[in-house]
Structure formats: structure tokens, C-alpha cells
Structure 1
Amino acid sequence: MNKKNFTSNLLIFFLSILSQNIYGQHKDEIGVLFYNVENLFDTYDDTIKTDEEFLPEGARKWNYKKYNQKINHIGRVIFESGQWNLPVIIGLCEIENSGVLKDLIFSTGLSKLSYNYIHYESSDKRGIDVALLYKSKQFTPLESRPVKINFSSDSRPTRDILYTYGLYNESIPLHIFVCHFPSRYGGVMESQHKRVLAAQTLCDTINQINKLDKLANIIVMGDFNDNPNDISICQIIKETNLVNLSTNMKSLNNSQGTLKHKFEWNIFDQMLVSENLNDSTNDMSISDNLMLQDFEFLLEDDLSYTGKKPYRTYIGYKYNNGYSDHLPILLKLNPNR
């Protein structure tokens, strides 16, 4: 399927969703989506990144057809998650560069809905970064920057935290963080100190904001490579005014987490918000529980460990034609002015 046909088909899909769901929805709700899209690489060699396995001649035989399918898949997730009212804010991780964000926006019809993006290149050796998509007609960024996580010189560099400050409808301020904490590569305990340092870096930045505005509207989302009860996340809760919405997350199809390892589901993908967003008298407040977007098309049968598992792009080096090894999460907020 070429890009033109896909755009047309996706817009038709969007209109069908609109007609089916317009009743009973709240048009003023603000959707905030987070999705680890699992290795969204383009097909071009970047000589300063370790991206060789995601090239046509690489170990994964990554090519334009597979890449275009991946873009289509992510577009579908965004449209399905919002239904008739697409998310205003979308945090993504495991994207290679700005080029893949442009392809996502312009190849799927998202550009027709005023989506734009914020992205900075990080020092991650594989070249996978975090990014923010936003509807420019509803959210106006006023400031953005990468927040560096500074390890010792002998440690492998990691992804930056993306910080964005802006206004919803030109009146309600929002502070947004998109995170992808260091992985568990090398062992959970052996790598734990890296995630603790990332958490401390996040805490320091949030506390600087709260010194200036104790009632700042803060949203933190990301793949933390830790569960809500792990040390790094508990540290964030202890040292800031944030609450973790992932501990009371609901699901569409009863999945027990956002990713699965053998028999075990984990909740690595989380959203944390400032306490004032639980207050309906605040200028913005939470509309409902955080929702795991475990659509049936994002799951497949787990033939090895029973039940279901995320329908991922690759299983090892075998192309699986799926979406991601993570499931997306969606928060809905109400503007109260």
C-alpha cells in the first residue's frame, strides 16, 4: 500500500470511528497518550549511531516496506486510542530521529489534524530517543529542552528526559516530561543505580518547577524500565508532589501490564501527575482512571507461556509484522476553565 492510499484509508477509518462513537463522548476531554513504539528506525545508515541491524542489509533485513507498515501501525494506534477525539498530547519512545516523526505525521493524515512534534537527539548509542507529538491548535509549547542524565564517564550514555512547558487553549499551563529510563540490560540489580540516578534527575527538575509554582500542572510519562513498587519510582513519589496513576490503571481486555516477560506482566509504562490534577476545582483535572489501551489487535496468543502477549514487530530476529512489545496508556483530563 502506498502512502497516498494509506492516508486516504486511515482518514476513512477515522471518519467511521467518528460516526460510531460521537454519542456519549466528551468533546472537551484532553487525551494524553504514551507509547513505546519498539525500535522505530528509518532505513538509512546513520554513521554516528549503532543502527546497523535496522538497515536493509542488516541482521533484521529492515526495509522500506516493513518501515512503512510500522508507521501505519503506530498511526492506527493513535487513531484508535482517541477514537473521535484524538489525544492532544502524545509521548513516544524508541524513535530514531525527527525524520520518522515527520513520516508518522504526514504519511498517516495526522498533519491534517494539526499535529506537530518536539524532539532532540540524545547521546544514546543506538540512537533511540523520546519525543512529543501535540495538536498545535490546542497546545502551544513555550519552552522545551532535553534534561541530561549524567553518568560517570565509564558508563554507557542513556536517553535524555524531554521537558516541555506550554499552554492548553492559550490559558492552562502544563509541564510535560517524557522519559525512557535506562534498561535492565546486564541485570536488574546491576543496572538499578542508573534508573535511580534518572529518577533523581527528574525529581530535581520537578522540584525546581514547584519552587516557582507549588500548583504547577505536571504530567510525567514514560517507559521507566521499573514497576511502580520499584526503588526508582518510589523515590519519585517520595521526593515530589506526584501521584502514580498506574497503580489503579484499568484495561480494555484485562491485560495485567504494559509488557510481558515469559509468564510475568510488568507495568514499566506509567503516568505520574501532580496532586492538584486530582482536584476538580483546579484549572485542569483528571477525568477518569488511566487506561491501558490493550486493543485486541495489539495482542496475540502466547503459545509458550499461556494467555496473551503484546503483538510485537520482531520476536528475536524473526519479523513478526506486529506493533510493539509494549502496550500504550491513555489519560483523559478535563479543562475546567
Structure 2
Amino acid sequence: MRKNRLSAHILIFMLHSTLLFCQKSNDYQVVTVGFYNLENLFDTENDPITFDDDRTPEGKDRWTVAIYQDKLQKMAEVIVQIGSDKVRVPPVILGVSEIENRRVLEDLISEPVLKKWEYGIIHYDSPDRRGIDTGLLYQKKYFQVISSSAHELVLFDPENNNKRIYTRDQLLVTGMLVGEKIHILVNHWPSRSGGEARSQPRREAAASLNRKIIDSILSQEPYAKIITMGDLNDDPNNSSVKKVLKTTSRLKNIKNNSLYNPMDAFAKKGLGTLAYRDGWNLFDQVILSASWLEKEYSSFRFYKAGIFNKRFLQTPSGQYKGYPFRSFANGSYTGGYSDHFPVYVSLIKIYKD
């Protein structure tokens, strides 16, 4: 990697100053990029080509307009706060998963707390049988889209006559972040349905596709700034992430084609973004290419990562106290938020007039 030094007085300033999202100070500018699994954000209409019947007013979940609107409000309340305690406005870029269609994103960014930030939407319908997709929200003031594409993950089940398994596409968006070219990948890898071991090859295939897309970008732009994020349904130390995607948490091992996973450190501390059977998993991850880590801050570089797990997002009492306060449980709407905590990274650069 190219090596440069950040002056000591700027480094001290960065570590001790109040961070203001996308605000220009005398010395720096900070933006937040995040990811949030919205836990089955469905509209109330029955789509005849997907299995969404439960999420209708007449369906098993009794998914009414009132519940849908409350869910939208709850999701907007979370999004507007994602980031560091000292960040006062929403992420400039937010990857999302478990959304039914573009309409739910349009309804989401129309919520009063988000509308003033003028979010744009990137979305493609995926072949997932349940009709759930990934998407990208971005503040138009700070991010301008150059191109976008959906990359299909083709899977077959060898235990079921090689029947096709339909799952989510991987979303690639290229654009200008405050004048700097970056690439964003949004993922929702295959679930652990049928057991972790049995389903592991599917996530390894997803990781292989993701790595192929990243390598294709790096072959054209060796110093490309790439962020791949999403609900990977695997932890940072699983083979799909560590071996196939080829991530590392050791900065001294970083090379031009390396991927740095800041979420690994949280997992090693026992922290997670979702809980299951009295155990935590950190499936939601934000992973960065090597160029984000250079010690030269005339352009955006990685500053810090976080799990947004504020108290209001946690189940307040009972057996699952402290777990993500999910919006649907035991066959009914709980008034909660999501069964996943959001994750984010802060990016920083020196500001010049």
C-alpha cells in the first residue's frame, strides 16, 4: 500500500474532537455509512408472484395498514440515529435488507424524520421466493450515483435433485461520495435454514461471487475504495468470510487486494447483532478494501466501526432482555424494531477550502 503520515496534531484532534456528520470544520469532515436488516419490511398488498400472503391484512400475520405504518415509523426512528453518539444526522449511505420492494423504501424515506434528508433509492427485484430484496439509500447531497447493477447468485440443491435455490441478488453501486469515487456492495447471503453445516456451501458460494465482483473492480482500479456490507448469515470467523472472501482483522497483513473486517474485533469480544438460543452472532458486517486504511487523509479513510445497539433497540424485559427488540414474535406484532442491530463505519478526511 502507499504509505503516508498524518501529522500528530491532526491525529490528536481527530481522537478528541466532537465528530459532526458531514460538517466541515477547520480540519476534517466525517460521514457515516451503515447497514440495517429491516426485518421483513413488507407492504400490505398481496403480490401474486411471491410468497407474501402472511404479510397481508387477511394473512396469518394480520399485517394491517396501521401496523405497516408503525413499522415504517420505527425503522425511520432508528435510521436517523445510526452512527456514533456524536453524529447528529443520518448515514450518508445505508444498505438495507429484508425489504419487499421499492415501494416500501419510497414509503420509508417519506417518513417525516427522514424526508428532509432527501434520500435516493437503488433497488432491484431479486428472484428470492419470499420476495425480499436488498437496497441502498443515499443522501443525494453527498452521494451521486454513477452506475448500479444486480448480480444473481445461482444455487442448486444437490440433496433435492439439484433443484434451483432462489435467493437474493448482490447489489453493486458505484458513485461519487463528496467528489470521491467509491463502490458499495449490499448483501443478504443465504440463511442457515436446514442447519449451519448443510447450508454453509451456499454462503461460501455467495462469498465467492462477492469476491469475484470485488476482484473485477480491483483489476480495473487497483486502489479502488470498496465497501461490502450486509447480513452475511455467518460470523466474521466463518469460512465464507475469512477464507472465501479473504478478510483480515490484522492491519499489518493488509495488501492492495486485502479486505479489512473491523467487525471481527467486536465478535472476539462476544458482541453481536442478533441473538439465537442464548448465543450471539455478528452476521451484519461492513468490510473495507485496503485503500480505506491508508494513513493519508486528503480523501476519506476509515476512522471507526460500530454496532448501533442502543437501549431502546433492546428487548426491555423477560427471557430475551437485551436481545434485539424484534418487531414480530409469537405470531403477532410487538411494536419493536428489528431482530438485528444496525452496523456502521465512520469515514474521515481533512477538510480543505
Aligned-partner residue type, residue 110 of structure 2:
F
Q: Secondary structure at the match of 1:56?
A: coil
- Alignment gaps of 5+ in structure 2: 1-16, 24-28, 157-161, 249-256
Seen in structure 2, the aligned counterparts of structure 1 residues 255 and 95 have a Cα distance that, compared at 3 Å, is farther
1:138 is the counterpart of 2:142: yes
Aligned-partner residue type, residue 257 of structure 1:
G
- Which residue pairs with 2:292 in the alignment? 277
CA–CA distance in structure 1, aligned partners of residues 213 and 330 of structure 2: 37
The correspondence of residues 66-145 of structure 1 with structure 2, limited to 5 A, is 66-82=67-83, 83-145=87-149
CA–CA distance in structure 1, aligned partners of residues 88 and 285 of structure 2: 24
Per-residue deviation, residues 244-302 of structure 1 (Å, max 9, x unmatched): 1101249xxx98200000210000001110112111316220122x1110011100146
Per-residue deviation, residues 89-143 of structure 1 (Å, max 9, x unmatched): 0000000001000100112342321211100000001000000000111101101
Tell me, yes or no, if the aligned pair for 2:80 and 2:113 is still in contact at 8 Å: no
Q: How many residues align?
A: 309
- Which residue pairs with 1:329 in the alignment? 343
CA–CA distance in structure 1, aligned partners of residues 151 and 136 of structure 2: 14
- Alignment gaps of 5+ in structure 1: 1-22
Aligned partner (choices 250, 261, 269) of residue 244 of structure 1: 261
Q: Please identify which structure carries the higher helix content.
A: 1
Tell me, yes or no, if the aligned pair for 1:196 and 1:231 is still in contact at 8 Å: yes
- Which residue pairs with 2:19 in the alignment? 25
Tell me, yes or no, if the aligned pair for 2:77 and 2:113 is still in contact at 8 Å: no
**TM-score (norm. length: structure 1):** 0.87
Q: Secondary structure at the match of 1:44?
A: coil
Q: CA deviation at 1:319?
A: 2.0
Moved more, 194-203 or 108-117: 108-117
Deviation >4 Å, runs of 4+: none
- Which residue pairs with 2:302 in the alignment? 286
**TM-score (norm. length: structure 2):** 0.84
Tell me, yes or no, if the aligned pair for 2:231 and 2:285 is still in contact at 8 Å: yes
Aligned-partner residue type, residue 338 of structure 2:
S
Per-residue deviation, residues 158-177 of structure 1 (Å, max 9, x unmatched): 000000000112x2111000
Q: Secondary structure at the match of 1:303?
A: coil
Q: CA deviation at 1:335?
A: 3.3
Q: Secondary structure at the match of 1:310?
A: coil
